[in-house]
Structure 1
Amino acid sequence: MKIKHVRVTPIAVKNPPLLNNGGIYSAYTVRSIIEVEADNGLIGIGETFGDRMILERLNAIRESLVGLSPFDLNALKKRTQSNTPHPGSEAYRFLPGSWNGNPTDAKIFGAFEVAFLDLQARHLGIPLCELLGGAVRDEVPFSAYLFFKYSSESAREVDPEYTENDTWGEVMNPAQLVGEATRMIDRYGFRSIKLKAGVLRPEEDVACIKALKKAFPNHPLRIDTNGGWSLDTARRMAELMADDLEYYEDPTPGLGGMSDLHAATGLPLATNMVVTDFEEFRRNIGLNGVQVILSDHHYWGGLRATQQLAQMCELFDIGLSMHSNCHLGISLMVMTHIAAATPNLTYACDTHYPWFTDDILQEGRVPIEGGSVAVRDLPGIGVNIDHKALAELHEQFLRCGSKGRDDTLQMRKFKPDWERKKPRF
């Protein structure tokens, strides 16, 4: 079996106006959909970032993969390696998603590796998780991912490109946030909750956690400021929330700051920002800055690298969870398979999926029931592309002109004097 065609299709999906410490989500999320077709007609699929830097590299490499065996991951790695230095300019440094401090090569390899592994599993007629070692759980729990946000009606007065299908309304205070959580849990059955904080004053964020704890006393809670609080602020807020949190995610910038915070509070700290590759993993062992790592196959370098990370976490007694970027159903199913095959990934995973209404799957949107996604007993990742939907979202990509997220630039449409600050409070 040899690879006959490799297709990379950029798409754009409309966002609701979700807020974070760095600004506001742009009106569109851009993603790249990968199809690797073999000479026997089978197609392996994947999904990754769609910003310009990643898309250019994917397209530059894809033709060189023709003729490879989809089992030859070493050849894939050779073709995705480059001598191009990782961009460190300000233009890239503050872009969310595809820039995470680790080399672009890992992201490109990981993007194609998913499609290669999916094709392998389809050829063998087995679910992807079986290829990854076998499922240790039949369903994977995810967490309700709460955001402060503007209403789409008000946001569309500033940028008319925001989605018209956003029914969540404005969320800017504890009562509105509890309402958002209630709707999301009623709809999807989530059994844990994560709050994207660092938007309001720290004391208001704490009030929101207290309100969520009162409304959902049996749901583990997490708060993530994306490094938006100073060490002093993070320490003071920890004193107020110590008994309420499952873990404290990226409350303050930098691995050194996280180390000092853990030493001062004893709280378990989690990250998807300060440990994003194996070099930083080694540094963390010496500093004991974080006790829970949020994996993400999109930037750790694929599924085998995620398994390597899991083994290292088990060796050093570090907890393992899973980060979410703004993904669609292909990535959600890939996340489900790797989580199902990872025994020590014991925390509920993050997902943005409830915030989107569009998808490109023949099977329709992936169901989340009881807060979990079921592992499907089907070959590969268990879903297929609806090419009509793919074409429509590709046309939307061409129309919208987005080259990727820039939350700070987008926020300046709402507040012209907005500056990105870490820490902000």
Structure 2
Amino acid sequence: MDSALRIDDVRLTPVLIKDPPLLNTQGVHQPFTPRLVVEVVTTGGVTGLGETYGDTRYLDLARPLAEALPGRSVTDVNGLFALAAEVCDPGAAGGVDDRVDAGGLRGAQTADKLRLSVVSAVETACLDALGRTLGLPVHALLGGKVREEVEYSAYLFYKWGARPGAAPDPADPWGEALDPAGIVEQARRFDRAHGFGSFKLKGGVFEPEREIAAIRALAKEFPGRPLRLDPNGAWSVETSLAVARELGDVLEYLEDPATGTEAMARVAAGTEVPLATNMCVTTFEEVPDAFARGAVRIVLCDHHYWGGLHRTRELAALCRTYGIGLSMHSNTHLGISLAAMTQVAATLPRLDHACDTHYPWQSEDVVTTAPEFRAGRLAVSDAPGLGVTLDRDRLADLHRRWAEDDGRMRDRDDAAAMREADPAWTPGRW
């Protein structure tokens, strides 16, 4: 093994980034969202970057993995999974047990899913370091790009103009969007600023009739543009089918209208509207049942969930084999993750729909140059590694915010944020 490719150090930097008051079926985004920046430093003096969720349960798993990595090669990304299973004991990591969470915006969480999300950031950082060392972009390490640009979709949210009891944030240019007119105006801004060709609305916030009206208003304003609706499993099978009947002529796809493979299969059997998911198919173990039952026609891949960029390509191959469409899911991410998304998306022979991204909502970042969407697309960088440079001063500022936090923001909790505004609030189910 080339000694220059050995890992000398791994730095973990949790940060808190500003997040606007975006609504979803679980509540409202908190004022700050935790993210974790991973730096893998080689003995050759090269630093690779990765990023993932920064909640405490991820940090508790990332720390022992970081301690175990020095001395290994950045080329040994296949070995990360066995190493993580060995050293990231979920019972010792903040009390995480095998079944962490029965729901949420990303489906059921398990200790294995949490480990994969941590491994994804380390794998990305290793690939970035390897690419920088060899003078190659990450897409070259994954087999080479098949497209020069990656198309992204505008991500629309119901949104408060300001948090209850607070003045509007002067750094937030978006304003309120709580009705069809507000959603259409939001879409116009995305269109003007970034040229996105398709629009996805985060639903499950209000009664379905209200969200149907918003989609209809978008279809009228942007005739022929692909439209998507994602209520994050907030609807019953019956409601899902009713919405599909109402919007079947304008929807590109309906994402996770109901919760779980069984319910999704029942919806799929009753409508021609394609169903997409990033909730009921988030691990390879969940693939056979969902595909066999016809529960989904589109999988929204996410390298954080699946364990990295190589495993994202493995998922894409499965989808091609079984005739399942492919797109890409997004979370509240920084420029490091967006660069990783773009690099792996560039290598997928079939990418059937524009990818999701939250990035235009973020007003803070840790990279020196913000990526620029042109006609809703990002150019695929050919610079070594991921093609991004860390802004260490900004990283230090955002980490200082995390260090000074009293603990309320270190774990994302949209429901808690909503109950600060309305103590009697409960998630809507229709």
Task: Please report the TM-score for the alignment, with normalisation by the length of structure 1.
Answer: 0.94
Cα distance in 2, alignment partners of residues 111 and 381 from structure 1: 12
| Change in CA separation of 1:100 and 1:366 when aligned onto 2, cut-off 3 Å | farther
Following superposition, the deviation at residue 404 of structure 1 comes to 1.7
Q: Is residue 381 of structure 2 the alignment partner of residue 381 of structure 1? A: no
Residue number in structure 1 paired with 2:19: 15
Give me the CA root mean square deviation: 1.7
Q: Is residue 161 of structure 2 the alignment partner of residue 151 of structure 1? A: yes
Q: Say which is worse superposed, 139-148 or 20-29, in terms of deviation.
A: 20-29
Residue number in structure 2 paired with 1:176: 182
Following superposition, the deviation at residue 209 of structure 1 comes to 0.5
Q: Is residue 389 of structure 2 the alignment partner of residue 410 of structure 1? A: no
Aligned residue among 39, 44, 64 for 2:68: 64
Contact 1:31 1:50 in 2 (8 A): yes
Deviations 1:220-246 (A, max 9, x none): 000000001111111111111001011
Mapping of residues 177-192 of structure 1, within 5 Å: 177-192=183-198
Q: Is residue 313 of structure 2 the alignment partner of residue 307 of structure 1? A: yes
Mapping of residues 246-325 of structure 1, within 5 Å: 246-325=252-331
Q: Say which is worse superposed, 372-381 or 77-86, in terms of deviation.
A: 77-86
Residue number in structure 1 paired with 2:85: 81
Contact 1:97 1:325 in 2 (8 A): no
Contact 2:199 2:225 in 1 (8 A): yes
Structure 2 residue identity aligned to 1:410: A
Contact 1:27 1:163 in 2 (8 A): no
Following superposition, the deviation at residue 27 of structure 1 comes to 1.2
Aligned residue among 363, 384, 394 for 2:399: 394
Contact 1:140 1:340 in 2 (8 A): yes
| Change in CA separation of 1:38 and 1:98 when aligned onto 2, cut-off 3 Å | farther
Q: Which portions of structure 1, spanning 4 or more consecutive aligned residues, are displaced by more than 6 angstroms?
A: none
Aligned residue among 199, 209, 213 for 1:203: 209
Cα distance in 2, alignment partners of residues 223 and 183 from structure 1: 19
Following superposition, the deviation at residue 397 of structure 1 comes to 1.2
Structure 2 residue identity aligned to 1:114: T
Q: Say which is worse superposed, 412-421 or 180-189, in terms of deviation.
A: 412-421
Residue number in structure 2 paired with 1:126: 136
Contact 2:99 2:109 in 1 (8 A): no
Following superposition, the deviation at residue 266 of structure 1 comes to 2.0
Task: State the secondary structure of the residue aligned to 1:37.
Answer: strand
Deviations 1:88-132 (A, max 9, x none): 667x44555696455322222222111111111111111111111
Q: Say which is worse superposed, 56-65 or 143-152, in terms of deviation.
A: 56-65
Task: State the secondary structure of the residue aligned to 2:357.
Answer: coil
Gaps of 5+ in 2: none
Cα distance in 2, alignment partners of residues 260 and 168 from structure 1: 38
Residue number in structure 1 paired with 2:223: 217
Number of equivalent positions: 417
Following superposition, the deviation at residue 9 of structure 1 comes to 0.2
Task: State the secondary structure of the residue aligned to 2:367.
Answer: coil
Contact 1:14 1:163 in 2 (8 A): no
Contact 1:100 1:273 in 2 (8 A): no
Cα distance in 1, alignment partners of residues 99 and 260 from structure 2: 19
Contact 1:49 1:98 in 2 (8 A): no
Structure 1 residue identity aligned to 2:399: H
Following superposition, the deviation at residue 420 of structure 1 comes to 3.2
What is the percentage of aligned positions where both structures have the same residue?
A: 42
Contact 1:170 1:176 in 2 (8 A): yes
Cα distance in 1, alignment partners of residues 237 and 187 from structure 2: 28
Task: State the secondary structure of the residue aligned to 1:341.
Answer: coil
Structure 1 residue identity aligned to 2:193: R
Residue number in structure 2 paired with 1:135: 145
Contact 1:49 1:97 in 2 (8 A): no
Structure 2 residue identity aligned to 1:242: G
Following superposition, the deviation at residue 353 of structure 1 comes to 0.4
Cα distance in 1, alignment partners of residues 17 and 107 from structure 2: 16
Gaps of 5+ in 1: none
Contact 2:26 2:104 in 1 (8 A): no
Cα distance in 1, alignment partners of residues 72 and 107 from structure 2: 26
Following superposition, the deviation at residue 13 of structure 1 comes to 0.5
Residue number in structure 2 paired with 1:50: 54
Cα distance in 1, alignment partners of residues 362 and 58 from structure 2: 22
Following superposition, the deviation at residue 64 of structure 1 comes to 1.0
Task: State the secondary structure of the residue aligned to 2:331.
Answer: coil
Task: State the secondary structure of the residue aligned to 1:73.
Answer: coil
Task: Please report the TM-score for the alignment, with normalisation by the length of structure 2.
Answer: 0.93
| Change in CA separation of 1:215 and 1:314 when aligned onto 2, cut-off 3 Å | same
Task: State the secondary structure of the residue aligned to 2:270.
Answer: helix
Cα distance in 1, alignment partners of residues 200 and 132 from structure 2: 34
Following superposition, the deviation at residue 414 of structure 1 comes to 1.3
